[in-house]
Chain A
Amino acid sequence: MAFRKENSTNKKMQLISLMDVVFILLIFFLVSIFFASLPNEERRIFIPTPKNEPGYAQVLIQLIDENSFLYIDPFVTEKLVKEITQIDKKTFMSVAQRLQQKKELIITKNTYPIISQDGSGNFLKAKLMTLVTQADAHPEEKYFAMIRCPDELPYAVVIDVVEILSRTKYKNIQYGCVGGTIDDIRNSKSIEKKMVREGSVLRRNVVIQF
């Protein structure tokens, strides 16, 4: 059988496809170098940020200043709902008067000094530890705590709060931090109780509209 002998002079390197590959690699490296060179903060900025949804909180920790805080947990909310119902029944009062009463109810009854006046105890820590103990006793429950902190307050206070909340054994306390002062509540437009159905579960919430 006769084999055809290849003509060695016809051997040529196929540069076109090689160029294609080289350019694609070049583009890939250019793009990846660009992203790698971005500082971390800028890389994160491409992550979608949460929409401006209302802030749900089972536990509200509003830091007022370096000496005081507002603390509301589900038991307080339950009481608040009852008291708000009573205030709403006072139809002889104007809407503004009723709103003022609700604000006082929320703020005055639930504001505590961070350190007790005689300096013997830390109320904030005690409240948070109670919450942690409760969360540890009910691992099946999930808690969400919202920490509101004014911009001028040292962030170390928030870190202290977060540190205590993260001591839970079952990690069933989630938390979120947001800027905001007690004046948001003090100047709120409305405070209403609202029944909400979440799947098969009914909840009675308090909605504070800033």
Chain B
Amino acid sequence: MKKIFLIFLGAVALILAVAISYYMIAMSRLPADDGDLGQVEEIEVPPERPGTQSLILTGPIIRPLIFAIDMSKPNIKSLDWAELKSIDLTAEVKIKANVGPDGSLNFNPISDVRCPGHTKAGEMVGRVLQTWAFKPYKEGPITIRFNVGAIGKKLTIDISKLRRKEGVDPDTPIKVGRLYMIENGLKRNEVKIISW
């Protein structure tokens, strides 16, 4: 019985093999387009290729502008922090200035520099800051406050009231760079920038 079953299976396999070889030989003689039409019909229509519904012309990379001290300007002096400390260890100087369209820092050394009780320090700071100039991307009021004796922030620069200069591309972002030229003792973490 088992032998008959095996012979039967073998016969089925042989018939299958013969049928399939015949089918393959028959199909191979057909032109490519006529073979397996049913299979092709089942395949979904591929989606449209990119660029048929819209086009995006990619422009060049936009480099952000950096609003900072303009080092290319001549005569920019840096403030000697150690010297300021030697003049007045507890100096408190507040300068209300204006950044002009050309980036220059404009203020009146008498009326705009407030330093009650610390006149010498005020004069020294005012003298140095008058040489400072920024990159001409922003303009408007700026406040710079020195507090030499403070434990935390010894220098605060408020640029929140500055506005983008007219003519500067409105889409180009402006980042804040180095806004002061101070050497000899002032640490980076002792500076606070208020930009909002």
Residues of A at under 8 Å CB distance from B?
15, 19, 22-23, 26, 30, 33, 37-39, 41-42, 45, 49-58, 60, 72, 74-75, 77-78, 80-81, 144, 146, 148, 176, 178-180, 184-185, 194-196, 201-210
Interface set, chain B 21-76, CB cutoff 8 A to A: 24, 27-28, 32, 35-36, 39-40, 43, 46-62, 64
Q: Which residue of B lies closest to A26 (CB)?
A: B13
Does A81 lie within 8 Å of B55, measured CB to CB?
no
Determine how close the nearest CB of chain A comes to the CB of B127; give it in whole angstroms.
40
* Residue B16 at the chain A interface, CB threshold 8 Å: yes
Contact of A42 among B40, B55, B56 (CB under 8 A): B40
Of the candidates B9, B32, B50, B53, the one having the most CB atoms from chain A within 10 angstroms of its own CB is B50
Residues of A within 8 A of B36 (CB): 38, 42
B contact residues, range: 35 or more
Contact B9 A19 (CB under 8 A): yes
Docked Cα-Cα span, A83 to B16, in Å, equals: 72
Q: Check A30 against B54 for contact (C-beta < 8 Å).
A: no
Is the Cβ of A60 less than 8 Å from the Cβ of B57?
yes
Which residue, B51, B62, B171, has most C-beta atoms of chain A within 10 A?
A: B51
Contact B47 A55 (CB under 8 A): no
Inter-chain contact A178/B52, CB cutoff 8 Å: yes
Docked pose: A56 CA to B56 CA in angstroms: 5
Report whether A54 and B53 are in contact in the complex, using a CB–CB cutoff of 8 Å.
yes
Q: Is the CB of B59 within 8 A of A77?
A: yes
Q: Determine if B18 is an interface residue (Cβ-Cβ < 8 Å).
A: no
| Nearest 4 Cβ contacts at the A-B interface | A55-B51, A49-B46, A39-B32, A77-B59
Given A26-B13, A57-B55, A205-B58, A41 and B32 touching (CB < 8 A)? yes
Contact A178 B20 (CB under 8 A): no
Contact call A176/B40, Cβ cutoff below 8 A: no
Contact indicator B35/A58 (Cβ below 8 Å):
no
Whether A52 lies near B53 (C-beta < 8 A) is yes
Q: With A and B bound together, what is the CA distance between A19 and B64 in angstroms?
A: 73
Which single member of B13, B46, B54 contacts A210 (CB below 8 Å)? B54
**Residue on B nearest A34 in the bound complex, by CB:** B24
- Greatest chain A CB density within 10 A among B13, B43, B60, B173 is at B60
Known contacts A55-B54, A57-B56, A178-B52; A202/B61 CB under 8 A: yes
Residue of A nearest to B3 (CB): A15
Q: Assess whether B47 is in contact with A195, with CB atoms less than 8 Å apart.
A: no
Q: Judge whether B50 and A176 touch: CB under 8 Å.
A: yes
Can you report 14 A-B residue pairs in the complex whose CB atoms are below 8 A from each other? A37-B27, A38-B36, A54-B50, A54-B55, A54-B56, A55-B56, A57-B51, A57-B58, A60-B55, A77-B58, A78-B60, A178-B51, A184-B52, A207-B54
Complex Cα–Cα for A56 and B58 (A)? 7
Chain B neighbourhood of A30, CB < 8 A: 20
Assess whether B60 is in contact with A52, with CB atoms less than 8 Å apart: no
Contact call B24/A207, Cβ cutoff below 8 A:
no
Q: Are B55 and A203 in contact (CB under 8 A)?
A: no
